[in-house]
Amino acid sequence: MFGRLPLPEYRYVTDALRAETLGGVLLLAAAVLALIWANTPLSESYTSVRDFHFGPGSLGLHLSVEHWAADGLLAVFFFVAGAELKRELVAGDLRDPRAAALPVVAAACGMIAPALVYTLVNAFGGGNLGGWAVPTATDIAFALAVLAVLGTSLPSPLRAFLLTLAVVDDLFAILIIAVFFTSDLNFVALGGALAGLLVFWVLVRKDVRGWYFYVPLALVIWGLMYNSGVHATIAGVAMGLMLRCTRREGETVSPGERIDHQVRPLSAGLAVPLFALFSAGVSVSGGALGDIFSRPETLGVVLGLVVGKALGIFGGTWTTVRFTRASLSEELAWADLFAVSVLAGIGFTVSLLIGELAFPDDPGLADEVKAAVLVGSLIAVLLAAVLLRRRNRVYRRIAQEEERDEDRDAVPDVYQEDDPEHHLRLAALYERKAAAERRRAAALGEGPPAPERPGHRHGQAQTPAEADRDGDGNGNASTDAPATPATPASPTDTPHGAGDPRKEDGDPSPR
């Protein structure tokens, strides 16, 4: 659909931007820059840039820079989210209802629980209930970036669970925006947007290619959707869901995969960072930070993200497994799931957006809620980092045990625990090492010289050299000499049989 630039520099940059780690780093860097810019003597320049208006007023698009970022550029992010959701629905984990049950239930509970936490805090504290939806969203890019950095040894089903959960979470967030944060409808503009979406769908189904068809059409659809009163990001989601994500005969990639591959760098490298730059710039002082934990609206957001998300996702998953036929992947432990549940408390992008929409008549409260989103997301990151690093160490030890090959026969020792020959090879290897250490100690004058051993006779133990007469370095005797009988050692007698690291860590893994 879109052309591809052949420049190697371009390919290097775009490939890097497709990596979740770099996207998360850019998002974090933009948010930090916004906070610094808004809390220094240059804060007036930040406000001037953020509130600067431009665009064709005759088309109802004379918007501020902040609104162009939130309503315009963020539509690109939701387009990518829609395409990812479509792939999951037709070819991913959401295709099989049984496999999708757990992350879907987890996503639903992970949105209901934070909303309840916010509502309870504000109901008893006399706060504004209008921000109930702020802590319900999970930021896909940020959460996956943190998992990619801290979870290098974690099992792959954990990432798949988080990805599916976050995609479904985004779908629910989109529905919340469409239903609860839509102003008075302009049915003429809405009808035009729907007609544009129909044309987009026909072009996709006819496999029409060429960015010069789709980009102008997408801009028209977006402009009409914005003027209709429905949040403009819905246009991005709708177009993403219309892409064909199944492969036909002769295709190596589907159109949806190809377009996602081309647009994702624009989303990760430009759209989301600019949105964070002009949305996260809130004035934060010592008193303001104190108010976050004393004002019911902001406290509800923080507790919703940190406590509500973790309890909702973990509790919903555990309850589903306990009372239905659904089951957690055999490669995962409940401790892994709890760590990811805490990580899902990173609200950031969508939470900042909903924070703007929830309090349109009180910019001061909207800014305080944004600060609460940043604080809650930061707390979730720090707690998840501790849990994920701990789980990562457990799985790294497991991987080391599974890759250990002390007898150097190219077969991991864990698969040879019941093989007597394996233990004979280990015994010969340890004898050779012990003899070398005795000679070294004797040379240093720290111990008696190594005893002289006669040649191998019946009933006498072989020397390390005799045990390795064939010269292959693995401790095997040559075929013309009979092996000395030995009692195979039990797995617990060998250094590599010290036990399962998961059990040492108190891990209730189902494996």
Per-residue model confidence (pLDDT) at position 509 = 46
Per-residue model confidence (pLDDT) at position 66 = 87
53: Cβ contacts below 8 Å, ≥ 6 apart: 62, 63, 64, 65
- Tell me the pTM: 0.68
Per-residue model confidence (pLDDT) at position 258 = 86
Q: Which residues of the chain have pLDDT under 50?
A: 1-5, 454-504, 506, 508-511
Residue with tokens 């799931």: 337
> How many contiguous H segments (helices) and E segments (strands) does the chain have?
22, 2
The conformation of residue 94, written as its DSSP 8-state character, comes to G
418: Cβ contacts below 8 Å, ≥ 6 apart: none
Q: What is the CA radius of gyration of the chain?
A: 30
Share of the chain above pLDDT 70, in %: 79
Q: Of 63, 360, 357, give the one whose Cα is nearest residue 181.
A: 357
Q: Residue 457 — φ and ψ, nearest 5°?
A: -130, 170
Q: Are 351 and 375 in contact (CB under 8 A)?
A: no
Residues in the chain: 511
Q: Token digits for 195?
A: 């007609």
Per-residue model confidence (pLDDT) at position 479 = 41
153: Cβ contacts below 8 Å, ≥ 6 apart: 392, 395, 396, 399
Q: Token digits for 85?
A: 């959701």
The conformation of residue 250, written as its DSSP 8-state character, comes to T
Residue 48: other Cβ atoms inside 10 A: 10
Per-residue model confidence (pLDDT) at position 210 = 84
Per-residue model confidence (pLDDT) at position 201 = 94
Per-residue model confidence (pLDDT) at position 471 = 45
